[in-house]
């Protein structure tokens, strides 16, 4: 009889290595490992041999960078999705894609179960499990870290030793790190004290602003329908463009984020992020929207951005809400085409120029010179009608006060006006 198959989301780290063996024993199962390349700089070579040596019967390593950029990163960028206004969500965006990979492999292998190495107190378990449930409701998701017997890293290492599981001989990082093309997430260790400044060794892809070059660097980014397509006048495909901006931004100390954030499971956690390209692209994209989006669309879009960020963070990528919001966002992006020029300097970014064929900036209306085309007289009537409700309110309030009655709601304000 064929053994049960389990597809394991595998990174080659201690947890997922131990998982391969532990699951094969517990379920008497055949283990298939699946690793997605999301542009993490961590070496993927040698991973196949390692997975095999750990007991995997089959090993998948898939390059998902293109899909990650086209189907996850760019939609989030167009939506201006920053969780709690700051976090560009490299980790949160990667999970639904990895879940998709697991489901596809489970389907082609005829596996009824998939497994991930997330803990029971984070957001990632939710993202994996909700995504798998959405894409393949009949596939069972296992989360060994929630229910296995190991209480510490040392116990896992001991288990690995007993079972001849190869684990890296290098000293373990004092942090928990998750990295991909869109950014690095760093937590644990001394970072758990929110008053503790991150030590220099917490950072991997950005220099400290004070160590950045003394010369500023201008970058010009061209967007088409809200998607970045060129850098400094040269067309570059998405993955490359992000790679290049990570390099340039990292060199200038751009994209360090220190955030105490609200997890879905109710915990406040302190996380350090390094996301040079994401920080630069979000900034540039919003600056272009300021130029080309009609006022009320721009304002509405900032509300949509918050909803969109929440749904990504909270594991609802494969939800009808996302598809519905995408329809709105794509409609708004039809005019987000043009060029933004930024200056990067010692951890800071400033906009120094923007242009678009859809620019709604009208020099005739904006100018204070004799070329002014704005109808100043029209403002008089506009203001008297625009201010009418407030004026009426205060007339009534003042009448009541002068006749000795108690001032209504904003009476204090009215009193001050009367004095």
The strands making up 113-115's β-sheet, listed across from edge to edge, are 58-63, 30-37, 5-9, 113-115, 140-142
- 162 to 15, 33, 152: CA distances (angstroms): 15, 21, 16
Catalytic residue among 11, 80, 124, 322: 124
Closest listed residue to residue 227, CA positions, set 341, 74, 107? 74
For the CB of residue 312, give the shortest distance to ligand ARG in the complex, in Å. Answer: 9
Q: 15, 185, 269, 322: which is the annotated catalytic residue?
A: 15
CB of 317: closest distance to ligand ARG in angstroms? 12
CB of 12 to ligand ARG, least distance (A): 15
CA 378 distance to own-chain centroid: 45
Q: Minimum Å distance from CB 286 to ligand ARG?
A: 21
Q: Is 15 a catalytic residue?
A: yes
Q: In the complex with ligand ARG, which residue's Cβ is closer, 54 or 92?
A: 92
Closest approach, Cβ 204 to ligand ARG, in A, equals: 12
- Specify the residue, 40 or 92, whose C-beta has the smaller distance to ligand ARG: 92
Q: For residues 272 and 173, is the Cβ–Cβ distance under 8 A?
A: no
Task: Clarify whether 244 is annotated catalytic.
Answer: no
Beta pairing, strands 183-187 & 176-180: antiparallel
3 alpha-carbon distance from chain centroid:
39
Which residues make up the interface to ligand ARG (CB under 6 A)?
89, 91-92, 123, 176-178, 185-187, 271
Nearer to ligand ARG, 176 or 319 (CB): 176
Write b or e for each residue in 224-258: b if 16 or more Cβ atoms lie within 10 A of its Cβ, otherwise e: eebbbbebeeeebebbebbbbbbebbbbbbbbbbe
Token digits of residue 128: 């994996």
Question: Which of 11, 24, 95, 127 is flagged as catalytic?
Answer: 95
Is 95 annotated as catalytic?
yes
Measure the CA–CA gap between 62 and 100, rounded to whole angstroms: 12
Q: Is 375 a catalytic residue?
A: no
For ligand ARG, which is the closer residue by CB, 248 or 278? 278
Kindly state the smallest distance separating residue 124's Cβ from ligand ARG, in Å. Answer: 6
**What is the side-by-side order of every strand in the sheet holding 256-262?**
176-180, 183-187, 268-274, 256-262
Residues noted as catalytic? 15, 95, 124, 176
């Amino acid at each position: 009889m064929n053994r049960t198959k389990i597809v394991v989301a595998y990174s080659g780290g201690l947890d997922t290595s131990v998982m391969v063996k532990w699951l094969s024993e517990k379920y008497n199962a055949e283990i298939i490992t699946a690793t997605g390349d999301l542009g993490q700089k961590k070496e993927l070579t040698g991973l196949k041999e390692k997975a095999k040596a750990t007991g995997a019967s089959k090993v998948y390593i898939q390059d998902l960078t293109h899909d990650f950029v086209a189907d996850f990163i760019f939609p989030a960028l167009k939506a201006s999705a920053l969780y709690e206004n700051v976090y560009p969500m490299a980790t949160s965006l990667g999970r639904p894609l990895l879940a998709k990979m697991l489901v596809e492999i489970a389907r082609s292998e005829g596996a009824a179960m998939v497994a991930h190495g997330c803990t029971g107190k984070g957001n990632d378990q939710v993202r994996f499990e909700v995504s798998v449930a959405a894409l393949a409701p009949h596939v069972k998701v296992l989360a060994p870290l929630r229910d296995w017997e190991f209480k510490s890293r040392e116990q896992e290492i001991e288990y690995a030793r007993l079972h001849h599981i190869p684990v890296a001989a290098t000293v373990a990082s004092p942090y928990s790190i998750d990295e991909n093309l869109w950014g690095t997430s760093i937590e644990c260790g001394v970072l758990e004290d929110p008053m503790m400044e991150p030590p220099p060794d917490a950072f991997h892809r950005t220099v400290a602003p004070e160590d950045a070059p003394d010369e500023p660097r201008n970058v010009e980014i061209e967007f088409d329908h809200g998607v970045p397509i060129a850098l400094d006048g040269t067309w570059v495909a998405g993955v490359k463009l992000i790679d290049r901006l990570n390099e340039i931004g990292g060199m200038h100390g751009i994209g360090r984020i220190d955030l105490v954030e609200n997890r879905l499971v109710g915990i406040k956690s302190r996380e350090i992020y390094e996301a040079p390209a994401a920080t630069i692209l979000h900034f540039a994209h919003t600056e272009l929207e300021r130029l080309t989006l009609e006022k009320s669309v721009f304002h509405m879009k900032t509300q949509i951005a918050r909803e969109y960020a929440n749904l990504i963070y909270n594991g609802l990528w494969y939800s009808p809400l996302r598809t519905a919001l995408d329809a709105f966002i794509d409609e708004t992006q039809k005019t987000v085409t043009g060029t933004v020029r930024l200056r990067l300097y010692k951890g800071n970014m400033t906009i120094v120029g923007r242009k678009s064929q859809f620019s709604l900036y009208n020099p005739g209306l904006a100018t204070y010179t004799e070329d002014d085309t704005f109808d100043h007289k029209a403002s008089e009537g506009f203001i008297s009608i625009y201010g009418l409700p407030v004026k009426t309110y205060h007339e009534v309030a003042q009448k009541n006060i002068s006749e000795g009655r108690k001032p209504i709601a904003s009476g204090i304000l009215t009193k001050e006006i009367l004095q």
